[in-house]
Amino acid sequence: MSMMIRPEALTGYKTREFKMLIDGQWVAGQEGKVIDRLSPAHGVTVSRYQSATKPDAERAIAAARRAFDTGPWPRMAGAERSRILLKAADLIEGRKDELAMLDTIESGKPISQAKGEMDGAVDIWRYAAALTRDLHGESYNTLGDGTLGVVLREAIGVVSIITPWNFPFLIVSQKLPFALGAGCTAVVKPSEMTSGSTLVLGEILMEAGVPAGVVNIIVGTGPDAGAPMTTHHDVDMISFTGSTVVGKLTMSNAAQTLKKVSLELGGKNPQIVFPDADLDAFVDAAVFGAYFNAGECCNAGSRLIMHKSIAGDVVSRIAELSRNVKVGDPLNPETKVGAIISAQHLGKIENYVRGAADGGASVALGGEAADLGMGQFMTPTILTGVLPEMAVAREEVFGPVLSVLTFDSLDESISIANSIDYGLSASVWSSNMDNCLAVGRRVRAGTVWMNTFMDGASELPFGGYRQSGLGRELGRHAVEDYTETKTLNMHVGPRTAWWVPR
């Protein structure tokens, strides 16, 4: 169900002008270039950024390096850093409407969803604060009377954090508080299309008491501002979320100086459905999984793998429910599917659909852009008769497009699920625990949901197998991920053994 955009929807909205945060100061880019961001739903300039190039990235890295090598942050007690993170969480909560609005008008995501993401982010900052107090190493008092072994966890150093446009505030919140909790300093580069909420986070962190230089935020394109953050000698670790292509490039850049790399990349997530599943629950989850965030989601449940005996009936029910999904102005609290991030990206989505239809798939629903009078939107789309070898079954479409494949046996469902390069998440739907556990154990994915979809919690690790990434975010080891391990091997008591005989 599409709703036209009211041209006056953003009337009176004043374009926000942002500077970059380097060494505790709000500064302009050295080359004086600016980037204008238009709301993808309304076509109005909503944000203007200073655009960073290599010299700005280098200044930011130098500030982070100084703050790490000589500043107070890594030397503070964990309890003190934790207190500051908790204050930041409170401030985020206090500004959540403003943050949600920025993410909505820059990315096109529905406002009700953006507010939910802010609640999730606040919880993550609080969770990171709790872990910060518990960061500890190990001791070995079992090495004999003459030896004591202590294993320290030390902050790894300067971290480059590079984030994409689909969940601007949530994704930076999956990285930065844990890096800060460990005692690291950071240079953050959000997507140049959705940098507003991350820059507001910079204001919040300064107000919370994070010292100058600990968090630096630059805005700019990947090649100009992001690439130096992946190659610079003074950066110790990179935490990246985005496409698998740029993830690989990042890893290869990092190899020159052997930086630690954490990558959260794409997904083409299978939902395996058996005939004995609660199909009412599944149909709702299928619609949610495919169209949430307009499908611009690494976790999108974009690949249905359904038992042949139920596929026809269940697809009809999914199509029926899909027709009730409200597509329209992201500022309308009832909207479920907002705008597509850019016209170029919409073209990419349409190409995937066209390619599938040309290859023999059927368009059971949608299949084209929605004309809502302005902005760019895509109608919820269902493709049936998709074969495992088609691009639309193997690649990330990143749009509201559901591909339906079928299976005869449990083994076949798992083999289809594992037949692609991605392995971020999966779900299985069945009332038989044997089916659920067989899929849960054999599907190669970082998260497997059973009879549910895309539920998350700060306590649960998130990340991918194979080309969906490296490492895990969230979970109880999330602060440790930003540390180095150091061994202190101590001799105790008088020396009794000599290398040179005496």
Residues in contact with ligand NDP by the rule CB under 6 A? 162-166, 189, 191-192, 221-223, 226-227, 230, 241-243, 246, 249-250, 264-266, 298, 396, 398
Residue 264 is among the residues annotated as catalytic for this protein? yes
Beta strands 25-27 and 20-22: pairing type?
Answer: antiparallel
Q: Which of 117, 264, 350, 480 is catalytic?
A: 264
CB of 39 vs ligand NDP, minimal distance in Å: 17
CA nearest to 428, candidates 294, 329, 328, 285: 285
Question: CA-to-CA distance for 292 and 482, rounded, in angstroms?
Answer: 31
Q: Which residues are registered as beta bridge partners of 186?
A: 159, 215
Nearer Cβ to ligand NDP (226/289): 226
Distant-in-sequence contacts of 43-47, Cβ < 8 A, 24+ apart: 43/374, 43/375, 44/10, 44/13, 45/15, 46/10, 46/13, 46/15, 46/16, 46/105, 46/106, 46/196, 47/15, 47/16, 47/17, 47/18, 47/102, 47/105, 47/106, 47/195, 47/196
CB of 82 vs ligand NDP, minimal distance in Å: 28
Position of minimal CB gap to ligand NDP: 222
CA nearest to 229, candidates 205, 257, 201: 257
Residue 473 is among the residues annotated as catalytic for this protein? no
CB of 119 vs ligand NDP, minimal distance in Å: 20
Question: CA-to-CA distance for 184 and 186, rounded, in angstroms?
Answer: 7
Residue 145: Cβ within 10 Å count: 8
What is the residue whose two structure tokens read 């480059």?
Answer: 160
CA nearest to 14, candidates 47, 36, 38: 47
Token pair for 55: 């010299």
CB of 378 vs ligand NDP, minimal distance in Å: 13
CB of 223 vs ligand NDP, minimal distance in Å: 5
Q: Which of 298, 396, 436, 480 is catalytic?
A: 298
Nearer Cβ to ligand NDP (55/223): 223
Answer whether 462's CB lies under 8 Å from 473's CB.
Answer: yes
Nearer Cβ to ligand NDP (82/427): 427
Q: How far is CA 153 from CA 27, 83, 142, 182, 214, in A?
A: 34, 20, 20, 9, 19
Nearer Cβ to ligand NDP (191/483): 191
At 141 the three-state DSSP class reads coil
Nearer Cβ to ligand NDP (159/438): 159
Answer whether 24's CB lies under 8 Å from 216's CB.
Answer: no
Answer whether 353's CB lies under 8 Å from 340's CB.
Answer: no
Question: CA-to-CA distance for 77 and 262, rounded, in angstroms?
Answer: 26
CB of 174 vs ligand NDP, minimal distance in Å: 10
Nearer Cβ to ligand NDP (212/251): 251
Nearer Cβ to ligand NDP (78/226): 226
CB of 235 vs ligand NDP, minimal distance in Å: 12
Residues with catalytic function = 264, 298
